[in-house]
Amino acid sequence: MGRLGYQSDAQSSLAVSYNSLASYGASLYEALTVPYAPYEKIGIQGPDGEYRQLATSLLQIENEFYTTIRAKRRTKRGERPLHALRERGVEYVEVRLMDLDPFAPLGITASTMRMLDLLLLHCHLSPSADDTPAELHAIARNKLHTAQRGREPGLLLERGNEKIALSAWGQQILGECEPIAATLDAAVGGAAYRDALAAAQGVMTEPETAPSAKVLHAMARNHGDSYVRFVLALSLLHQGALKTSPIPPHASRYLERLAIKSLEEQKKIEATDSVDFETYRARYLSPDLLKL
Give residue-wise pLDDT tens across range 156-166.
Answer: 999 999 999 99
Amino acid 68: pLDDT: 84
d(CA 80, CA 4): 29
Residue 98 has pLDDT above 90, yes or no: no
Last residue of a domain, one of 187, 222, 257: 222
Closest CA to 215 of 68, 99, 115: 99
CA 120 centroid distance within chain: 13
Whether 19 maps to a domain, the answer reads yes
* Whether residues 116 and 200 fall in one domain: yes
Structural domain for 33, as ranges: 1-97
The model's confidence at residue 6, banded by pLDDT at 50, 70 and 90, is low
Name the pairing type of β-strands 156-159 and 92-95.
unpaired
Question: In angstroms, rounded to a whole number, what is the distance separating the alpha carbons of residues 77 and 29?
Answer: 20
Q: Is residue 57 part of a domain?
A: yes
Residues 89 and 56 placed together within one structural domain of the fold: yes
pLDDT tens for 203-223 read 999 999 999 999 999 999 999
- Kindly report, residue by residue over 30-81, the tens digit of the pLDDT: 999 999 999 999 999 999 999 999 999 999 999 888 888 899 999 998 899 9
SS3 129: coil
Q: Where does 177-248 have alpha helices with state H?
A: 178-188, 192-205, 211-222, 227-243
Looking at residue 11, its pLDDT comes to 78
Helices first, then strands: H and E counts in the chain: 12, 4
Q: What is the pLDDT of residue 10?
A: 73
Q: What is the pTM of this model?
A: 0.85
pLDDT score, position 57:
94
State the chain's maximal CA–CA distance in angstroms: 66
Residue 46 lies in a domain: yes
Residue pLDDT, tens place only, 219-276: 999 999 999 999 999 999 999 999 998 889 999 999 999 999 999 999 999 999 889 9
Q: Are 1 and 97 in contact (CB under 8 A)?
A: yes
How many distinct structural domains can be found in the chain? 2
Percent helix / strand / coil, the chain, rounded to 5:
60, 5, 35
User: Given a cut of 80, is residue 143 above it in pLDDT?
Assistant: yes
pLDDT at 66: 83
Q: Contact 64/70 with Cβ under 8 angstroms?
A: no
Is there a single domain that holds both residue 206 and residue 137? yes
The pLDDT assigned to 261 comes to 98
Residues 157, 162: Cα–Cα separation, whole Å: 8
CA distances for 28 relative to 22, 58, 65, 131, 180, angstroms? 10, 10, 8, 16, 33
For 69, phi then psi, to 5°, come to -140, 130
Residues 149 and 82 in one domain: no
